Amino acid sequence: MPVALQVVPVDEPLPVEDVQECYLYSLPLPSLPCTPFLVAPIRTEPDSLTRPAPATLEFVNHDTTGLKKLWYCPTVWKRLLAYVSLGASLKYRDDDAVKEDFHHLAQCPGAPAHPPLSYETGYRQMFAVEAAHHKRPQPTVCNIEGVQDAVHSQIIDFINGGLQMRYENLGLKYEGGNAEAAAIEGIENDDGNDNDNDNVNNNENENGSDSDSDDDNDNNNNKEYAYMTTAGKEVTVAEIKANTFYPAWLRTCRKNHINHGREGNRTAGFSDKMLFVSPDALDNKDPKRTQVALHEAKPSWVYSTKYYRHILRGNGAIIDDDNNFNTLNKLHPGNLLLKQLWGQCSDLGPDVGFTTNGDVVMVFVRVVPPVAPQLVETTSKSDDPADSKIRHQPPRSKGVKTSKVETHSPALPETESGFILSPLMKWIDPRLRVCLLALSFMALDEASWMTKQVNGNPSPITLRNLLCPESECTQIEQEDV
């Protein structure tokens, strides 16, 4: 099975007749690879695995919306490149695995013809990150937090810059939870000492629940969703908004969980970062209105690339004898990773994201039946969990071809719940940053694609149709030993 996409250039001349007057057709894209990590000789133990909390296992084992199947889509990375590069569309459109038309972000309904005001700032940030890491020494990591920091500095900071080149700043429209908070005074330590409790009870406990450290005090002074500063000075809301940009990849907190307010609920399933559309509070009925993608980083000496390959090859620890996901396995790092990702998607709402161990990166898309509890109620059925309002028929296939991978069989993702998985892309692949920026664009653009019309008739396109069409997916079956 192929587990990595070969490096190919995407700078072919663009077809002039297809290029409209939209700056997104010529969006500048980087070309330098990420810097690999150095693993310190003194590091966490190789068995430092994240084990699923009971709440996560409830999601995994759910009769209707549990983690049942895995599918493989070999075209994910190509579709991501094609979403931001017409040159990539030309290069890959005749690929045997490609059976549906590519889409470009400039074709998205409502796509702007001209750059937003934040374009120049985003451009500088994006290429500054790339240039800086190209010259810096390799980052040294010794635990999961170190890996998360390295991913943030090389990937997340880059993407956050790229988002400013595409979207208007939704943070400017935020009013906050207290309309009277025209200015917000900084928080100071009134007791006069320098005790620092920032790291106390700040992480998830062994049961996968977050602490009650400061979340339970968010209602103090009736400023629950107001911007605040710790600088010890008064800062106007206008000043804060001028230095804040949404959409953005940020850390999650308890109030990003769909069921955080349930009495007695101990939430589990925090992702490392999540892509937020705006600063607005979570909408439990439509969580993807504000939070659309997530990512999870793992240390390579615990979650080695071998275990990532086991996932795609259908190792017995991943796929059981009935070709379903092996929910009983409690030891395999790849199995535990998929359970953790399923819990995060279920707890936080996004259906797409990526995971990396610093050596390889894998994109995942969650598929659940349209009766999923967290979806908006609808009177029509849907082929896709993200399509909760309008029925969408996928484009007609160019012809289904036999898979070259023996452990895969034709897939029916819309009838079962599970993950659609991409091939593995190397961390040092020079196209990685571009692809993950495109993934962020896709996740944010899905709501607009769902409004697409053809000749005045609704013709919505879901994230799954953009990224991993059904005709290009095959079910991962248990490999022959």
Per-residue pLDDT, 396: 31
Per-residue pLDDT, 180: 36
Stretch 108-115: mean pLDDT, rounded? 95
The answer to whether residues 54 and 126 touch, using CB atoms and an 8 Å cutoff, is: no
The residue behind tokens 């006069």 is 192
Q: How many CA atoms lie within 13 A of 38 on its CB side?
A: 8
432-449 vs 76-84: helix crossing angle, rounded to 10: 80
Stretch 314-335: mean pLDDT, rounded? 96
Per-residue pLDDT, 260: 65
More confident residue, 269 or 112: 112
Q: Which residues are paired to 8 by β-bridges?
A: none
Which residue, among 297, 363, 366, 325, has the nearest Cα to 146 in the 3D structure? 297
Query: Rounded to whole angstroms, how far apart are CA atoms 399 and 262?
Result: 48
More confident residue, 339 or 21: 339
Is the Cα torsion angle 97, 350, 35, 166 positive or negative in sign?
positive
Per-residue pLDDT, 190: 40
The mean-pLDDT minimum among 8-12, 129-133, 475-479 falls in 8-12
Q: Which residues are paired to 38 by β-bridges?
A: 140
Q: Which CA distances in Å does 349 have to 294, 397, 449?
A: 9, 29, 19
The residues near 443 (Cβ < 8 Å, ≥ 6 apart) are 275, 292, 293, 350, 352, 463
User: Has residue 12 got a pLDDT over 70?
Assistant: no
The residue behind tokens 């199947």 is 69
Query: Rounded to whole angstroms, how far apart are CA atoms 103 and 467?
Result: 9
Query: Rounded to whole angstroms, how far apart are CA atoms 325 and 336?
Result: 11
User: Has residue 47 got a pLDDT over 50?
Assistant: yes
Concatenate the DSSP letters of all residues of 449-465 into one string.
HTT-EETTEE----HHH
Other beta carbons less than 10 A from residue 422's beta carbon: 27
Per-residue pLDDT, 467: 98
User: Has residue 195 got a pLDDT over 70?
Assistant: no
More confident residue, 386 or 303: 303
Residue-wise pLDDT tens digits, 122-142: 999 999 998 888 778 889 999
Per-residue pLDDT, 348: 93
Q: Which CA distances in Å does 368 have to 339, 341, 355?
A: 15, 14, 20
- pLDDT averaged over every residue in the chain: 79
Query: Rounded to whole angstroms, how far apart are CA atoms 11 and 341?
Result: 35
User: Has residue 261 got a pLDDT over 70?
Assistant: no
Query: Rounded to whole angstroms, how far apart are CA atoms 333 and 144?
Result: 14
Residue-wise pLDDT tens digits, 148-180: 999 999 999 999 999 999 999 998 877 664 433
The answer to whether residues 419 and 355 touch, using CB atoms and an 8 Å cutoff, is: no
Per-residue pLDDT, 137: 86
User: Has residue 198 got a pLDDT over 60?
Assistant: no
Other beta carbons less than 10 A from residue 377's beta carbon: 9
Which residue, among 426, 147, 432, 164, has the nearest Cα to 302 in the 3D structure? 147
End-to-end alpha-carbon separation of the chain, Å? 15
Per-residue pLDDT, 340: 96
The answer to whether residues 84 and 439 touch, using CB atoms and an 8 Å cutoff, is: no
Q: State percent of the chain over pLDDT 70.
A: 71
Q: Pick left, alpha or beta for residue 112 (phi over 0 → left; psi -120 to 50 → alpha; otherwise beta).
A: beta
